[in-house]
Chains A and B, each alone.
Chain A
Amino acid sequence: MIKNFRIIPRIDIKGVNVIKGIQMEGLRVMGDPSNLSEKYYQDGADELIFLDSVATLYGRNHLHPLIEKIAKNIFIPITVGGGIRSIEDVEELLMSGADKIAINTALVLNPNLITKVANRYGSQCLVVSIEAKKINDGLWEVYTNNGRERTNVMVSDWVRSVIQMGAGEILLTSVDKDGTEKGFDYDLVGMVTSISSVPVIASGGMGSAEDMIKVVEFSNADAIAVGAILHKNKLTINQMRKRAIELNFNLRSYDHE
């Protein structure tokens, strides 16, 4: 049976502008998040992910006003992440209009938060965001703080832990590949999907529609998060959908109205 997968634009935000990190260092401004969101929604994106890129540095997530604005006109699932530290942070963002919350650093520091969020709001609203950097063949280490800090925790162990504690989905970003547009870390994604009983969103490195096909077909990703190439308009959602449909993937049926 050919797979069903989701195409999820990932919008990294610093201040009011969308930015893109290259291997998570060095930032480039790409556009207005409201406009991009609207465009991707109209083009048939399945969901949207918003990450507050500097939240951890400044202490908290500041995306509430943006999310409130977007949620009024965009009726697909919205995931928000970046600097979320407590159940109060989660509550505030859900009230602003987020459907799902992506948490990384805070969970590594305080794994109990996973169970707290899952119990209060349900697993389906909790996306555990994992940044992974390759150490060796078959081995990846968990990083936090937008790829800046190592943890000495192995990705495979962390994946098993978070699922046990109540993660609903995993957003898996390759620190090595992020922003390079040279393809995903297919081995990383394949490893995680093989041990994960929850859906896995592959992120970091998409450079072409073929990369997308490869990470779904061979690495078994359930969804792909795409950033830079989309914001730069090097590839459009239409092109991605067209390619996937040509190859008989089950995508959301979407009529451009």
Chain B
Amino acid sequence: MIMSDVTIIDYGSGNMLSVKRGFEYFGIMVEISSDPAKVKNAKKIVLPGVGAFPSAMQALYDRNLIKSIFDAANSNVPILGICLGMQLLMDKSTEFGDTNGLGLISGTVEKVIGNSGDGGTLKVPHIGWTPILKLGKKTNWEESILRNIRVGQSAYFAHSYVAKLKNKSDCLAISEYGDQGFPSVIRNRNITGCQFHPEKSGQVGLNILKAFCDK
């Protein structure tokens, strides 16, 4: 049996098929699975996600997927969380009351609040294209999923919550909305997260998905 290169976790989240198509564009073999055994033994894992944090965590729990994700994480399997999937990697979210996340990257998830810079408040959800930037000049994208893109290339975001990282070193890229910056790509060892949707970000996004597969 030929193993898939990438396993997308199916926990009822809406954007699995789009993500699959993004990988298939490069001829990459993808499986979508809700089977804890398959997830645990996957070569690489993608955790997609749209919708609300608490019901997503509940869905993972109900499908017995949490232990598989932990096992994979501890076995150094590369894991990529997308949008809500990225947020689930963190310690907890304040959406609809505090809910614990997977705790694979330290920090919390909080609502987008802020000023638009011209006197108004920011529209929520944040929907649109915005550049992916480095937090500091020393940030190295070479060994990461961002190695095929250039600083300042844009990606498509659609979210109402943002990550607040405990450790700046986990911040691979930031983006701006109104008068604030927020983490757009986070990483801790084999665990990576994108707040934006690489499967919806044109060629830039496709290059990011490819880099995740090529590692």
Give A contacts to B, CB under 8 Å.
1, 3-6, 41, 46-47, 71-73, 75-77, 94-95, 97, 99, 120-125, 168-169, 196-199, 222-223, 250-254, 257
Contact = CB atoms under 8 A, between A and B. Distances in A.
5 contacts: A46-B128, A97-B18, A99-B15, A120-B51, A254-B154
B128 A123 contact: no
B135 to A, nearest CB: 19
B18 A199 contact: no
A43 B189 CA distance: 37
B17 A75 contact: no
B206 interface: yes
A91 B22 CA distance: 20
A200 B178 CA distance: 16
B103 interface: no
B202 A254 contact: yes
Interface of B: 14-15, 17-18, 21-22, 25, 50-52, 116-118, 121, 123-125, 127-131, 152-154, 156, 158-160, 178-179, 197, 199-203, 205-206
A49 to B, nearest CB: 13
A190 to B, nearest CB: 13
A6 B157 CA distance: 12
A143 B117 CA distance: 34
B125 A124 contact: yes
Given A1-B178, A253-B131, 12 more contacts: A1-B118, A4-B129, A6-B127, A71-B18, A72-B21, A73-B25, A75-B201, A76-B200, A125-B14, A222-B123, A253-B153, A257-B203
Nearest to B51: A122
Q: Which of A3, A196, A252 has the most CB of B within 10 A?
A: A252
A120 B56 CA distance: 11
Nearest to B121: A197
A4 B123 CA distance: 12
Given A168-B127, A222-B128, A94 B14 contact: yes
Given A1-B118, A77-B158, A6 B128 contact: yes
B129 A75 contact: no
A198 B123 contact: yes
A75 B205 contact: yes
Contacts of A73: 25
B127 A1 contact: no
Contact of A122 (B52, B130, B197): B52
B139 to A, nearest CB: 19
